[in-house]
Amino acid sequence: MFSKQDLTKTRELPKLGGTPAKKTNVKALVLTALLIALIMLFGVSIGTIMVGPVGITMMHIPVAVGAVMLGMEYGALLGFVMGLVSFLIATFTPFVGAFAFSPFVALPGSENGSVWALVVCFVPRILIGIGAAVSYKLFKKVCKENLAWGIAGAVGSLINTIFVLTFIATFFGEQWAGINGIAQNALLGTMLLTVFSNGIPEATVAFLVCFGIGSAQQAIADRKSRFISDALRPLEEENAALRADNERLRSASPIDFSSDDSSYSDAPVSVLPDEEISDENSLAPDDISEINISSPDITSESDIPDPYGK
């Protein structure tokens, strides 16, 4: 007989990819390390692309990519690394305006730097990761995946440009106007011009790069999904067949499956009540040995007594 457990069990589908939490952590760490390496590479060598007279910075793009792929926390971490690279470059290889990115570079006409340079250097870069992650989550609900990637890259780039220029105008407006040879009251117009001349091209490049990465990532994800679906289809069909067999066995078996107990005992034997036996009709143990049970000698068929008395 089949027990209830035997009739109801089906084959479990295997889990592909190992332990999800461990795999995710390793993937995040490896990808973060690669993006940090790109930020450092862009910071010290190929971080700026000259398009005519316009310099387009690329260092913020790995920050936006990490924010989209790994989330807001990793995006903020990558933004901090970008700020750290900018801080180190401004400190050890000073350039015109480096005082706005490092407190160790003296202000024009002064022997000391300003601690507000740390705000200019780090806060906008950390906001790149946060803004890119938030915008991606918002736009992926209303548009395609690759388009959400592109928008996240453009938003991160604009955040960097707008906040850096705003903080420079707020904390170092007089010094910045002085090194650029403009009046301080014309500084706001100069900043807006910089947003359109540099910020818009940088955001466009960030959009195109992130859009391309998002398209490639979506194509890989679709191919992986089809591969897993094809691999699991035979097991799902086998499971469906096992469930169908279980249903047929349930309908054909006389076993009552309402109980979880898989053991079934025999039907109980009814015991009739004892009849009262009189002492005069009962046999004593000593009398049983004296009973002689004999049978008539039967030698032929004619010697068998007729039960009907004929």
Average pLDDT over residues 143-162: 95
How far, in Å, are 87, 158, 170, 177 from residue 173 at the CA level? 19, 20, 6, 6
Q: Is the pLDDT of residue 227 over 90?
A: no
pLDDT at 144: 92
pLDDT at 231: 77
Domains and CATH numbers, the chain: 19-236 (1.10.1760.20)
**pLDDT tens figures, 167-206:** 999 999 999 998 888 888 888 888 888 888 889 999 999 9
Average pLDDT over residues 121-125: 96
Closest CA to 181 of 120, 97, 112: 97
pLDDT at 71: 94
* pTM > 0.75: yes or no: no
Instruction: Count CB neighbours of 305 within 10 A.
Output: 8
Q: Is the pLDDT of residue 76 over 80?
A: yes
Mean pLDDT across the chain? 79
Q: Is the pLDDT of residue 225 over 90?
A: no
Average pLDDT over residues 274-301: 51
Task: Give yes or no for a contact between 124 and 86, defined as CB atoms under 8 angstroms apart.
Answer: no
**Where is pLDDT greater, at 207 or 195?**
207
